[in-house]
A and B are shown apart, each in its own frame.
Chain A
Amino acid sequence: MTTPPDATGSNRTVSNKERMAVSRQRMPTRPADERAHTFDEVNTGLGHDEALIEAMRCLQCTRAWCVDACPVHVDIPAMLDRLADDDLVGAARSLLSDNALPCVTGRVCPQEIQCEGACPRGRRGEAVAIGHLERYLADWAADHPDLVEPATGVVPNGGSVAVVGSGPGGLTAAGELARTGHAVTVFEAFHVAGGVLSYGIPPFRLPRDVTAREVARLERLGVVVETNAVVGRTYDLDELRRDFDAVFLAVGAGLPVFLEIPGEDLKGVYSANEYLTRVNLMGAFGPDAETPVARGSRVAVVGGGNVAMDAVRTARRLGADDAVIVYRRTREELPARVEEVRHAEEEGVRFDFLVSPLEVLSDDDGWVRGLRCQRMVLGDPDESGRRRPVPVPNSQFECACDVVVEAVGTRANPLLTHSAPGIDLDGRGFIEVDDDGRTSLPGVFAGGDIVRGSATVILAMGDGKRSAAAIDAYLKGPQTWR
């Protein structure tokens, strides 16, 4: 056990050799057999000493690759330098000035392909645990708002902005705009704010109070959140353009994709969106839940991304004895975060690779009784460079299950865009924007999944931040449009 550096600004005096001698601190987790039955958070968080030791592992690179690899360019060495010196206020302020929702990103960013993936310490040993440290600092900051948040009130500048959608993209834009003095109203279709953070990502990865706390922080900044407001129905985009000086659209990619195989209308077949919404947003896991969900003792989840991992781990927690991932490629191609895959395995999730479903099979009462599948092999690479799975002849088999969850992607939901003629869309219905998030309609900006397709929390936040700056410039400058 290494002792943490003392708190006298001494991090700079630690030699690289000493830093290299320290190994990566482990994130404490609830035991797998215990957590497979509760929705409590799996990762319980680093303690203060571990955080300081881990921060000291950072080599303080002058050319910080990690910063380049972070979509919002968090100044990681600066943050970790202060953290290693136990300057929590300084470290937290540094983090919060770059990242509006670090409590969230510290938990859900795919760090291994972003910041941590670029850290040279990962080449010989393990990368600095940037995500865990970000979470540590962000949680500390949320517990000490009086120390971290500047007490200076915001001076209203007379501008007003409507933000549509309260996912990470919308929340980030709202925060940035409120801080610069704009009056911001966020319109959210659901009864709670947070987007995927509330209805998609399960509480065992992202506790609900983390998101609620961030929303409360925005409200303290003066942001108004109007729930039950479905833009395209309750309001039209034209009304918002009339009532506000600018509009930011961050409505996500909320339209489920189904495999379009026979039997998908059987009882017990869900889109991941429906399954996760019933459980996470509506609380169907509780003993007195009012919203039902089919529990099933054998649950097959089709897909290999974060959404699939969330669904299959949810199924285990709802009591499935057999929860299996059915994926048409191999382990190497799984798009999910590495930690999610590892946690799923620890929790007893089974993986069936190189398998593609052909049909959902019915019992006599119209319920799912299984999946007819076929085996695949990886063939030549496709346009995306990934090897395309091709069927193995005569390899069909049946996989018994009573619930099927399809996590095979989402598309653009046309509810809003159909009510906004004149907004340019790409061939798949996503909104077209320039580098600053400007759409084809003057004063209307867009970002997040409704622009990128299903992407990540941090990319949506990056869009929100960029568009907020562009909106601020648009409202302050001569109003020109591309």
Chain B
Amino acid sequence: MYPVRRREQLAPRVVELVVQAPRIAAKRKPGQFVIARLADGAERIPLTIADADSSAGTITLVIQSVGKSTADLCDIDVGDAIRDVAGPLGRPTDLLAAGHAACVGGGVGTAVVLPIARALSARGVTVTSIVGARTTSQLLLVDQLRELGEVQVCTDDGSEGHRGVVSDQLAVLCDSTQVDAVYAVGPVAMMRACADVTRPLRIPTTVSLNSIMVDGTGMCGGCRVRVDGQTRYACVDGPEFDGHQVDYDLLADRLTTYRTFEQEALDRRGACTPAGTTP
């Protein structure tokens, strides 16, 4: 059992949970994730370790409610426990040694970028963050990223910062200054657009692939992605890969595998209350 120590609603449909998991807190490195199973019968789902406190023995998860399993997790109360949390899984981020890094986060991807930005900053790399969301209320973790360096905000509706998408802002940044590495995490389309920006400029670009997982140990092959023409397992070979080599079409398509099932699961859960919106 992994008790929830703190719960905070970061945005509509996005919840931050601080979870007691000392073994994982002691071991985890930026870029790694856990597989969580809320209760008996629940699905195993991958979630990035957004932060950890090894002395308190806790890890922080930032969860966006997009379906049944994430909605259930978002609804958990302080004092309740997650049945199973396994990790830390995946390879740690390959961190730039020195220079200037752009950390680009789209939606809940910002939670994946935050620990990377923190680790880069800790080793003296200059960090510029570009954070995007549909609208102001959905922006995540901007204050935390500001502690590390400049933050550029983009919203689709222009309600805060630049109106437009993070990849356009990334292009402007790369044009105006020397950028030595880019870390981009968010929806598939966003990661693809960022990679398209940096490819002609030959800026090394790391993306984190959110393929569908089961075990997270390389046992099932369900998380397979294609990178540079090779089959790779996101859970053990990744989740981070060279953004210039990823087959994004395949990733996007495989993510639709269970679309009908997912909708039915949500409907069964009760369509009247929008998932995970409880304050």
On A, residues with C-beta under 8 Å from B are 189-191, 227-230, 233-235, 254-256, 258, 265, 267-268, 270-271, 273-274, 277-278, 282-283, 288-292, 294, 366, 413-415
Q: Which of B68, B84, B88, B215 gathers most chain A CB within 10 Å? A: B215
Query: CB of B104 within 8 A of chain A?
Result: no
Chain B residue at minimum C-beta to C-beta distance from A228: B86
Whether the pair A292, B262 counts as a contact (CB closer than 8 A) is yes
Q: Is B256 an interface residue (CB 8 A)?
A: yes
Ranked 3 nearest A-B pairs via Cβ? A274-B220, A228-B86, A292-B261
CB of B43 within 8 Å of the partner chain: yes
Contact call B253/A234, Cβ cutoff below 8 A: no
- State whether B218 touches A254 (Cβ < 8 A): yes
Residues of B within 8 A of A (CB): 23-24, 27, 37, 41-44, 68-69, 83-89, 214-222, 224, 226, 231, 236, 250, 253-254, 256-258, 261-262, 265, 268
Q: Which residue of B lies closest to A283 (CB)?
A: B41
Q: Please give the distance in Å from A61's CB to the nearest CB on chain B.
A: 43
Residues of chain A contacted by B215 (CB below 8 angstroms): 189-190, 277
B218 touches A234 (CB 8 A): no
Which among B44, B69, B231 has the highest number of chain A CB atoms within 10 Å?
Answer: B44
B86 pairs with A191, CB closer than 8 A:
yes
B23 to chain A, nearest CB (A): 5
CA distance A255 to B85 in the complex (A): 22
Contacting pair A273 B220 (CB below 8 A)? yes
Structural contact, A265 and B224, CB atoms closer than 8 A? yes
Tell me what chain A mostly uses at the interface: helix, strand, loop, or mixed.
loop
Q: Which residue of A lies closest to B254 (CB)?
A: A267
Whether B219 contacts A277 by the Cβ 8 Å rule is yes
B253 touches A291 (CB 8 A): no
Checking B217, B222, B236, B261 against A274 with a beta-carbon cut-off of 8 angstroms, the contacting residue is B222
The answer to whether A413 and B221 touch across the interface, beta carbons within 8 angstroms, is no
**Residue contact A282 to B44, C-beta cutoff 8 Å:** yes
**Min CB gap B181→A, angstroms:** 25
- The reply to whether B214 and A277 contact each other, CB–CB distance below 8 Å, is yes
CA distance A188 to B27 in the complex (A): 17
Q: Within 8 Å CB of B254, what residues of A? A: 265, 267
Extra inter-chain contacts (13) besides given A273-B219, A292-B262, CB under 8 Å: A190-B215, A191-B86, A230-B87, A233-B27, A234-B88, A265-B226, A271-B221, A273-B220, A277-B219, A288-B268, A290-B42, A291-B43, A366-B253
Is B23 in contact with A234, judged by CB distance below 8 angstroms?
A: yes
Say whether, besides A191-B37, A274-B221, A228 and B84 are in contact (CB < 8 Å): yes
B256/A267 in contact, CB under 8 A: yes
Q: How far is the CB of A415 from chain B (nearest CB, A)?
A: 6
CA–CA, A105 and B206, complex, Å = 48
* Among candidates A233, A258, A274, A283, residue contacting B89 with C-beta atoms closer than 8 Å: A233
In whole angstroms, what is the CA distance A256 to B24 when docked? 27
A189 contacts B217, C-beta separation under 8 Å: yes
Most buried by B among A227, A233, A234, A265: A233
Name the B residues within 8 Å of A415 (CB-CB): 217-218, 236
Decide: B86 and A230 in contact? CB cutoff 8 A: yes
B265 and A290 contact, CB distance less than 8 A: yes
Q: Are A230 and B89 also in contact (CB < 8 A) when A267-B253, A291-B43 are?
A: yes
- Identify the closest chain A residue to B91 (Cβ): A233
Chain A residues whose C-beta falls within 8 Å of the C-beta of B214 in the assembled complex? 274, 277-278, 282, 291
Q: Using Cβ atoms and an 8 Å threshold, which residues of chain B touch A191? A: 37, 44, 83-84, 86
A277 vs B68: C-alpha distance when bound (angstroms): 20
A290 touches B87 (CB 8 A): no
With most chain A CB atoms within 10 A of its CB, the pick from B23, B68, B69 is B23
CB distance from A292 to the nearest CB of B (A): 4
Least Cβ–Cβ distance between A260 and chain B, in angstroms: 8
Known contacts A234-B23, A292-B258, A294-B257; A282/B217 CB under 8 A: no
Question: B24 to chain A: which residues have CB within 8 Å?
Answer: 234
**Chain B residues with CB under 8 A of A282:** 43-44, 214
Select which of B43, B85, B220 is within 8 A of A271 by beta carbon: B220
- Residues of chain A within 8 A of B87, CB atoms compared: 228, 230, 233-234
CB-based contact A234/B27 at 8 Å = yes
Q: Contact: A277 with B37, CB < 8 Å?
A: no
With known contacts A230-B89, A256-B219, A290–B43 Cβ distance under 8 A: yes
A413 in contact with B218 (CB, 8 Å)? yes
Q: A229 near B224 (CB under 8 angstroms)?
A: no
- With a cutoff of 8 Å between Cβ atoms, the chain A residues found around residue B68 in the complex are 290
Among A228, A255, A270, max chain B CB count under 10 A is at: A228
Q: Which residues of B contact A270 (CB under 8 A)?
A: 222
Measured in the bound complex, the distance between the Cα atoms of B261 and A230 in whole Å is 30
Which chain A residue has the least Cβ–Cβ distance from B21?
Answer: A228
Measured in the bound complex, the distance between the Cα atoms of B231 and A230 in whole Å is 23
- Contact of B220 with A290 in the complex, beta carbons under 8 Å: no
Q: How far is the CB of A122 from chain B (nearest CB, A)?
A: 38
Instruction: Looking at the assembled complex, report how far the CB atom of A228 sits from the nearest CB atom of chain B, in whole angstroms.
Output: 4
Q: 26 A–B contact pairs at CB < 8 A?
A: A190-B86, A190-B215, A191-B37, A191-B44, A191-B84, A191-B86, A228-B87, A230-B87, A233-B27, A233-B89, A255-B219, A256-B221, A258-B221, A265-B226, A265-B231, A267-B254, A267-B257, A270-B222, A271-B220, A274-B214, A277-B214, A277-B219, A283-B41, A288-B268, A292-B261, A413-B217
A291 pairs with B44, CB closer than 8 A: yes
For residue B212, which residue of chain A has the nearest CB?
Answer: A292
CA distance A366 to B256 in the complex (A): 10
Instruction: Please give the distance in Å from B255's CB to the nearest CB on chain A.
Output: 10
CA distance A273 to B268 in the complex (A): 28
Q: List the A side residues contacting B27 at CB < 8 Å.
A: 233-234
Taking CB atoms, residues of chain B closer than 8 Å to A234 are 23-24, 27, 86-88
What CA separation (Å) do A268 and B253 show in the bound complex? 12
Least Cβ–Cβ distance between A263 and chain B, in angstroms: 12
Quick one: given A267-B256, A290-B41, are A228 and B265 in contact (CB under 8 Å)? no
Nearest CB of chain B from residue A428's CB, rounded to whole Å: 15
Q: Which residues of B contact A256 (CB under 8 A)?
A: 219-221
Complex Cα–Cα for A190 and B83 (A): 12
- List the B side residues contacting A229 at CB < 8 Å: 23, 86
Shortest distance from the beta carbon of A235 to any chain B beta carbon, whole Å = 8
- Smallest CB-CB separation from A287: which chain B residue? B268
* Smallest Cβ-Cβ distance to A252: which chain B residue: B219
Query: For residue A267, which residues in chain B have a CB less than 8 angstroms away from its CB?
Result: 253-254, 256-257
A-side contacts of B265, CB under 8 Å? 290, 292
Shortest C-beta distance, B259 to chain A (Å), equals: 10
